[in-house]
Amino acid sequence: MRKVAIVGAGITKFVRRAQETGKELSFEAARMALDSCGLTLKDVDAVTHGTAPDAFDGVHMKGEYLSDGSGGWRKPYMRNFVGGGTGVFSPIHGFFHVASGLADVCLVVCEEKMSSCHPHPQGAFKTIFDHTLEQPLNPTLIWIFALEMNRYMNRYGLTKKDIALVSVKNKKNALDHPAAQIPEDITVEDVLKSETLAWPVNRLDISPASDGAAAIVLTSEERAKRITDKPVWISGVGWNIDTAYWATKDLYYPRYVEKAARQAYEMAGIKEPHKEIQVAEPYDPFSYKELHHMEGLLLCKKGEAARLTADGVTQRTGNLPTCPSGGALGVGNPIAATGLMKVIEIFLQLRGEAGKRQIPGNPKVGVAQAWGDLMQVGTVVVLRSA
């Protein structure tokens, strides 16, 4: 298999309501990514775009609409989509292009403009449920995550306080991220006192709705060596989907994330992820999700993630820095762009270019993960700098 490197990256600022159109956001991120490695569109062989539901932007065939803004003009251009897992899947789709030999340079762009959805993008989630079995119950996304969080807490005897620590950590980490939307220095009490939306989920347990875009440039080994001294290699990819009938499974553990992680680790030759992975960006749209996903990623034993968080292991200075970027909770959550932001964070950390966010110890191996659909999809990318 041909080796595939990340050689450049760009992220727009994540905001609640961007003045720019989705096309313009895509353009900005793509431009930043190309500029960062000194390439132009002429060098790009193919473009893949990741963006979550059309209902956010309010455009049918959103990938087509965003194509020219993303640099896909008169090029092989395709959109990839696995719901909320799209952001980490996009580099995987880009990986196919380069690893197969069909492209030497592939531009990967992710965009989300959730503010177009009125009055609130949560409305777009009303139609993700089964039309016959579930929509008549009028569920919202927050309700089903309240079910899942409750189940997770119940299974391991965790409290809301244990989980609130994730929000506190990530929002604080985000203070150092230039693209961050809601970085804050808050306490556990602030989280617990914030409005209850659907017990046990409070407002500060949830990432915000956001507009934003991110992009990376993938190249073959030969091209990477001509472009940069510090290529970061995509050494493992994994993705997995569980049944659509989510009510038929036990929500305490994301087995689909484990499956995706095992696929990626096997490819990357990682046997003991909890020892070998030096920095992780699990998807954290809700505070408990970070813990859930750490376990799915096999970074700790089942039910152990909350204790590691309380012990400070997941802080930037800890043994397993987790969401050093600030994650979806702090940087913001323009769905597909968030996943790619996480991949970019690992890229920067492995290059030693994360600025104030840089974790100590010169890390060489990291993992980014996203999750999506109806508590159903896991997408995992393992990166290595050497």
Provide the binding-site residues for other proteins, judged by CB under 8 A.
Answer: 1-2, 21, 52-55, 57-65, 67-68, 72-84, 89, 93, 95-97, 99-102, 116, 124-128, 130-131, 237-245, 255-256, 259-260, 263, 372-374, 376-377
Q: How far is the CB of 183 from other proteins (least distance, A)?
A: 29
Q: How far is the CB of 67 from other proteins (least distance, A)?
A: 5
> d(Cα 188, Cα 204) in Å, to the nearest integer?
10
What element of type H or E holds 341?
helix 335-351
Q: How far is the CB of 279 from other proteins (least distance, A)?
A: 24
Q: How far is the CB of 215 from other proteins (least distance, A)?
A: 17
Tell me the Ramachandran region of residue 368: left when phi exceeds 0, alpha when psi lies from -120 to 50, beta otherwise.
beta
CA–centroid distance for 351 within its chain: 19
**Tokens standing for residue 10:** 């760009």
Select 61 or 310, whichever has its Cβ closest to other proteins: 61
> d(Cα 137, Cα 313) in Å, to the nearest integer?
41
Selection from 371, 385, 121, 100 nearest residue 257 by Cα: 371
Select 164 or 237, whichever has its Cβ closest to other proteins: 237
Select 199 or 245, whichever has its Cβ closest to other proteins: 245
Select 263 or 315, whichever has its Cβ closest to other proteins: 263
CB neighbour list of residue 50: distance below 8 Å, 6 or more residues apart: 79, 80, 81, 86, 87, 89, 90, 93, 108, 109, 110, 111, 336, 339, 340
Query: Alpha carbon of 106 to those of 217, 230, 369: distances in Å?
Result: 6, 18, 21
Other CB atoms within a 10 A radius of the CB of residue 67 amount to 22
Select 102 or 310, whichever has its Cβ closest to other proteins: 102
Q: How far is the CB of 200 from other proteins (least distance, A)?
A: 24
> Identity (one letter) of the amino acid at 103?
A
Select 55 or 354, whichever has its Cβ closest to other proteins: 55
φ, ψ (nearest 5 deg) of residue 258: -60, -45
Q: How far is the CB of 122 from other proteins (least distance, A)?
A: 11
Select 154 or 243, whichever has its Cβ closest to other proteins: 243
Select 77 or 286, whichever has its Cβ closest to other proteins: 77
Other CB atoms within a 10 A radius of the CB of residue 128 amount to 16
Q: How far is the CB of 270 from other proteins (least distance, A)?
A: 17
Quick one: CA dihedral 113, 117, 118, 119, positive or negative?
A: negative
Q: How far is the CB of 71 from other proteins (least distance, A)?
A: 11
